[in-house]
Chain A
């Protein structure tokens, strides 16, 4: 049986992997700096979705949601950071930190739903049906989202690389990720480094959310729905290295889209309901074989 992978499927995989990477990089970054899996990442993404929505109801093209999502996502993340600070200073257990992020997620879910309800009430839109695909740009015959999400992904990766390896701030950030107490004795303001990493994580997630309505229908639950997949991507890639995020995301993204499209021709449209199983299965298999993900395999070979 020949499995033909159409250009459309390939591009879809590209888009999804890029968007997923934008979320996963934040999760890994936060994990490396604050040592906690951030369950509130779902809200950061949803904040991005509604950033696009907000610019749209005010008459702008929803792609302007990207800068707004960047800012709002970052700010929401910073809010959570300030909530976690007293816990971190007290050396609270990882359980408490995880529950804290979970509770912030619940809180933001309520806030975002109120926002959605208010937008619906004031602007007469269907705020649980955010879908911008028809408004997408056409760039030389290719759908805008393909190029824009890929660009967003590449810009983010390059910018992070430059930040971390070419600036003093980057050195300080990396020192924090490596050994926060030692970093502090070297004069690094660890709190401020964490603040910056939370902003970055929230901002990238916000951008991801801003792009999502150009890929599928979104509502206030979308971020939560994909949280498990975001975690899978980071974990499969390996939480100990930032490069793990894009690795895991592209692996998972392509696996999911390609598998779904080939299985769909065999099984039929029902397959869409099983979408979540693929990332979860890959997660379980990967962790069984490589308990710390894929990236260590690559990084250790390079003698890092």
Chain B
């Protein structure tokens, strides 16, 4: 579904990613982990057309999306859930979801029902102003805003950052469910290594803008050097 080949990108003169290649198939979750500032968010920004791409190619479902503007990429079926300020805080939960649906042109309410099933707490707080939701509930809403557009590819930027363990577990579980139930491709950028490995089908470790590891989570566990040096996981 998503194929990134030899991507070199950054912001203006700041070169962040060097020859990065990523693959994400249908019904697959890939986790992208690594130290702070490694370029994980830049990877998402590059896929979505926000960062400056110096060379390389990005293909979505076989189609070249490398130099397309962000709003076109969004319309091609990519849902980018930002890490912060990712909801319309002045609107209610339901209004947030309906706006997203209206803008995607998808009139059917299937995804809306699905999202309320997936996150019953949102259904409970339907009429509540989004700004008054707790951190975890906000992230659920943010993800739902993306899901409700029936995307092919879901980009998640640290969805569990700053959340309490209860929500971390819940959201990770739901991400797995989304993959299973809707067959989406999901690129999950995460700081929480443990959780990221638990839910991923494939994992990429990015350090200083380069991919230093690519493989199964179980394989990564065996790479003690990487675990220790870059991911802060001791012996």
Contact = CB atoms under 8 A, between A and B. Distances in A.
Contact flag (A, B; Cβ within 8 A): yes
Contacts of B75: 187
B149 interface: yes
Interface in A68-113: 90
Given A171-B102, A172-B103, A175-B103, A186 B86 contact: no
B57 interface: no
Interface in B69-118: 69-71, 74-75, 79-82, 85-88, 90-91, 99-100, 102-104
A181 B85 contact: yes
Interface string B7-40: 0000010000000000000000000000000000
A218 B49 CA distance: 48
A187 B74 contact: yes
B63 to A, nearest CB: 16
A187 B102 contact: no
Contacts of B71: 184, 187-190
A175 B100 CA distance: 10
A185 B85 CA distance: 12
Interface in B30-72: 48, 69-71
A265 interface: no
A4 interface: no
A290 B207 CA distance: 49
A216 interface: no
A185 B48 contact: yes
Q: How large is the interface on B (under 10, 10 to 19, 20 to 34, 35 or more residues)?
A: 20 to 34
Contact of B70 (A172, A175, A185, A304): A185
Main SS of chain A's interface residues?
Answer: helix
A175 B74 contact: no
Interface residues of A, number: 17
B148 to A, nearest CB: 10
Q: Which of B71, B74, B75, B87 has the most CB of A within 10 A?
A: B71
Contacts of A172: 103
A208 B102 CA distance: 35
B207 to A, nearest CB: 27
Interface of A: 90, 168, 171-172, 175, 178-179, 181-182, 184-190, 304
Interface of B: 12, 48, 69-71, 74-75, 79-82, 85-88, 90-91, 99-100, 102-104, 145-146, 149
Which 8 A-B pairs have CB atoms at the shortest separation, nearest pair first? A187-B74, A189-B71, A187-B75, A185-B80, A186-B103, A184-B70, A187-B71, A178-B88
Given A175-B88, A185-B80, A187-B71, 19 more contacts: A168-B102, A171-B99, A171-B102, A175-B103, A178-B88, A178-B90, A178-B91, A179-B88, A182-B87, A182-B88, A182-B145, A184-B70, A184-B71, A185-B81, A186-B74, A186-B103, A187-B103, A187-B149, A189-B71
